[in-house]
Amino acid sequence: MMGSSIPRQLSLNALEPIVIDLLDLQQELTPSFVPVRSLPTPLEFMRQVHTNFPVIYRGAALNWPALSDRRWSKQYLLDTLKDTIVTVAETPFGNADAPLDGTFVQPHTSQLPFPVFVNNLLDQNADSVCYMQSQNNNMPTEFPQLVDDVQMDISWATEALNSKPEAVNLWIGSSRSTTSLHKDPYENLHVQILGQKVFKLVSPAEHICVKESMLKKATYQKSSAGFNLIAEGERQPWPTVDPDEIDSSDQWQSRVRVLEVTLNPGDMLYLPALWYHKVSQVSDTEGLCCSVNYWYDMDFTGPLWPFANFVRGVTNLLTGDEHNDNIADSGRS
């Protein structure tokens, strides 16, 4: 039943104009920048989610206690969390969960007293780059002392999406760490508290431009002698294109449209489900970059998930390596 017994051949050239149409349509029908809007009603936010396009809510969190009286600072966090043990990603170059020479490298993970973590963060000559990036709903579970300084959900988003956030995460890092291009199956609201974050965004329609590959996984192991990479048996599909280093001679990279957003303290970014994002950080004058994000479940019953998965499967045929056969099934992990 799976096709005729004589395998019909199709030139890859037949697929290319269809992919180019997709890129052109996406880029023609949407803005070439991320719009700035005032805070939405639940209905306005639901329309934004439907559009699956990012938007900036400037100053959305300026009245939160963390910001309204400049409550959060290095000293405030050190005082409040002096007895707290935190989970910290450690890497040699600030490259947690990132492609490196054809390998997908994951960080060494440590449990450190918060003051030790901050000392490392502020030491430009430390032998490891630390980033508190655990993304496991750490805000209520690990930092109950800070909960009243921020919000535990974004009320208009909760009402729009008819559910509480799946996770509320506190991120503390510095200019030394960068999050490599990737996507998440969540509607994401990202609120900057200290320092700046710079997002480079690529739409799900442009999957072919980010050259997803099945990378061998490896994990950093830190010892007194430094970092070693320990190979794992599995592979991980991951975009291998760096939006800051586009190869304009590559037929697909040259077609990508990277949208750039800089978040200042109090700003909120709506980052739609399945959008690729690379995130760089700029420390504040005390050396910290700190934000809180809210992950809401995306609607898996709508067309975005199966259609984006289809785009991914088809376009990987055009850019793929020999391991890409496994990609289509591994996207939801």
CB 97 within 8 A of CB 179: yes
In the complex with a second copy, the residue whose CB is nearer, 135 or 330, is: 330
Strands 108-113 and 85-91: antiparallel
CB of 273 vs a second copy, minimal distance in Å: 10
In the complex with a second copy, the residue whose CB is nearer, 19 or 209, is: 19
Give the containing element (helix H, strand E) for 222: strand 212-223
In the complex with a second copy, the residue whose CB is nearer, 13 or 63, is: 13
Instruction: Supply the DSSP symbol for 274.
Output: T
CB of 252 vs a second copy, minimal distance in Å: 10
In the complex with a second copy, the residue whose CB is nearer, 205 or 292, is: 205
In the complex with a second copy, the residue whose CB is nearer, 26 or 87, is: 26
Question: SS3 of 156, please?
Answer: helix
CB of 52 vs a second copy, minimal distance in Å: 5
Of 264, 232, 270, residue with least CA distance to 34:
270
CB of 125 vs a second copy, minimal distance in Å: 46
Positions touching a second copy (CB under 8 A) are 1-3, 7-19, 21-22, 25-26, 29-30, 42-43, 46-47, 49-53, 159-160, 162, 203-205, 251, 299-311, 313-314, 317, 328-329
CB 157 within 8 A of CB 294: yes
Q: What distance lies between CA 261 and its chain's CA centroid? A: 13
CB 154 within 8 A of CB 57: no
In the complex with a second copy, the residue whose CB is nearer, 237 or 265, is: 237
Q: How far apart are CA 35 and CA 47, in angstroms?
A: 14
Cα–Cα distances (Å) from 323 to 78, 211, 214, 254, 316, in that order, read: 46, 13, 6, 24, 10
Those residues with Cβ within 8 angstroms of residue 81's Cβ, 6 or more apart along the chain or in another chain = 114, 143, 145, 146
CB 23 within 8 A of CB 209: yes
CB of 317 vs a second copy, minimal distance in Å: 6
CB of 202 vs a second copy, minimal distance in Å: 13
In the complex with a second copy, the residue whose CB is nearer, 233 or 303, is: 303
CB of 164 vs a second copy, minimal distance in Å: 16
